[in-house]
Amino acid sequence: MIAFEDVTKRYPGEVVAVDGLSFVAPTGLLTVLVGPSGCGKTTSLRMINRLVQPTSGTIRLGNEPTSDMDEAILRRRIGYVIQHAGLFPHRTVLDNIATTARLNGISKAQARIIAFDLLERVGLSPDFAGRYPWQLSGGQQQRVGVARALASSPKFMLMDEPFSAVDPIVRTQLQDEFLRLQKEMGKTIIMVTHDIDEALKLGDQVAVLRVGGKLAQIATPQELLTRPADEFVANFVGRDRGYRYLGFVGTAGKLAANKEPTAKLGDTPETARAASRDRWLLVTNERGEPIGWTEPSGLRAPITMGDINLSGTFAALSGSLRQLLDAALSSPSRRGVIVGDDGRFVGCVTLPDLLVLMDQTADASAPSREVRHAL
Ligand SMILES: Nc1ncnc2c1ncn2[C@@H]1O[C@H](COP(=O)(O)OP(=O)(O)OP(=O)(O)O)[C@@H](O)[C@H]1O
Ligand SMILES: [Mg+2]
């Protein structure tokens, strides 16, 4: 764990960046620090690896106060990922990663093996090994930054806005991949972001800071959404927090998906009209993966892509109520399409069925037990 005990940082000129901060980041979990610009997030992070010296208070790594530890050893135990990746510009991708591995006294050859392995784990092909940072996209640089931080196999990771310098689609990809990686690694992580959606998506627990460096609330994402401690937190979490909360409600086992008739690309208008029960008919490909909806009454020739309305999103069978609701609302038929892990069509759910499901989740706001135990 990483523990803050009444930590304060006052910069020269009486700027109080962090004010009496106390919280615990439990072992193996991801704790997110979130808050408006200037609320002391980066300062808090940099105090952990002693790039910034606290004015007062204690930070512990495990049970050991960081102030008692040798700085070089401390930094070796902590992976650090910063915004824009901060790679060494004159070193190749492989050398950037291997350099951190070498910190633990590992041989050059072994460090290269570790670096190649990490490259793959963060989703980059070995072809990138010989490139320089300026030859990479922002998202690729961020991946190398994460690989570099992992190369010393640290137990602890500090990440300062690691996914902020990329567009929303790449950002979502990086977040998803990182969640998968963290599931395998189980590192003790403190991540900083000012994006509340990112905090709620990634954090096992989320600490909300207010300007002046005071802790407003630390809780699981579910708890922040359903029981914000005060108006500041409620506003920060956002007006659509009810909808966001549905993202944490799983549907597995509670859902009665209705089997729908479907058509395939290439089916004749007659086949489609015979299959359809109402205005809209779902079209799948050869493998049974849904594509979108068509109106059989308007078909004049076998179904092509041009006949299909692509607006509906698909929800995973193991996904959240938020995904399902979105699938239903975005579909022209108002029926949400559900797909299995293999991407194939499973069934549909109607808006009225969803409302019933949502109604049943009213008491599902209990905070996650795991974090409770860890604390
Ligand atoms: N070296 C410094 N000297 C003086 N004041 C500083 C220094 N570094 C940061 N500050 C001030 O401390 C406060 C907290 O800064 P910090 O960088 O920790 O905020 P932050 O929450 O990371 O903000 P952002 O979201 O914009 O990155 C700010 O008011 C900032 O101006
Ligand atoms: Mg910052």
CATH, residue 172: 3.40.50.300
Per-position pLDDT tens, the chain of length 375: 999 999 999 999 888 999 999 999 999 999 999 999 999 999 999 999 999 999 999 999 999 999 999 999 999 899 999 887 789 999 999 999 999 888 878 899 999 999 999 999 888 999 999 999 999 988 899 999 999 999 988 999 999 999 887 888 888 988 998 999 999 999 999 999 989 999 999 999 999 999 899 999 999 999 999 999 999 999 999 888 888 888 888 876 667 678 899 999 999 999 999 999 999 999 999 999 999 999 999 999 999 999 999 999 999 988 889 999 999 999 999 999 999 989 999 999 998 888 888 887 755 444 444 444 443
Where residue 341 sits, what CATH number does that domain have?
3.10.580.10
Taking the centre of ligand 2 as the mean of its atom positions, its distance from the CA of residue 76, in whole angstroms, is: 22
Residues in the chain: 375
With respect to residue 139, please indicate whether it lies within any of the assigned structural domains.
yes
Q: Report how many domains make up the chain.
A: 2
For ligand 1, mutation pick of 8, 10, 11, 159 (most atoms within 8 Å of CB): 11
Same-domain status, 65 and 171: yes
For ligand 1, mutation pick of 7, 15, 196, 208 (most atoms within 8 Å of CB): 15
pLDDT at residue 368, as a whole number: 41
Same-domain status, 216 and 333: no
With respect to residue 251, please indicate whether it lies within any of the assigned structural domains.
no
Same-domain status, 207 and 269: no
Same-domain status, 278 and 200: no
CB within 8 A of 81, min separation 6: which ones? Answer: 145, 146, 148, 149, 157, 158, 159, 160, 162
Q: If you search the block for the tokens 């109106």, which residue do you land on?
A: 295
- Establish whether residue 194 lines the binding site of ligand 1, counting it when its CB lies within 6 angstroms of any ligand atom: yes
Same-domain status, 107 and 179: yes
Same-domain status, 284 and 224: no
With respect to residue 249, please indicate whether it lies within any of the assigned structural domains.
no
With respect to residue 313, please indicate whether it lies within any of the assigned structural domains.
yes
Residue 293 CA to residue 362 CA, distance in Å, equals: 32
Write out the residue range of the structural domain in which residue 162 sits. 2-240
pLDDT at residue 53, as a whole number: 95
- CB 201, CB 43: distance < 8 Å: no
Taking the centre of ligand 2 as the mean of its atom positions, its distance from the CA of residue 34, in whole angstroms, is: 10
Same-domain status, 44 and 164: yes
Same-domain status, 58 and 131: yes
Residue 45 CA to residue 39 CA, distance in Å, equals: 12
Same-domain status, 93 and 216: yes
Same-domain status, 73 and 177: yes
Same-domain status, 236 and 288: no
- Which residue in 171, 148, 170, 149 sits closest to 158, CA to CA? 149
Same-domain status, 11 and 120: yes
* Residue 74 vs residues 42, 225, 292: alpha-carbon distances, Å: 18, 35, 54
With respect to residue 84, please indicate whether it lies within any of the assigned structural domains.
yes
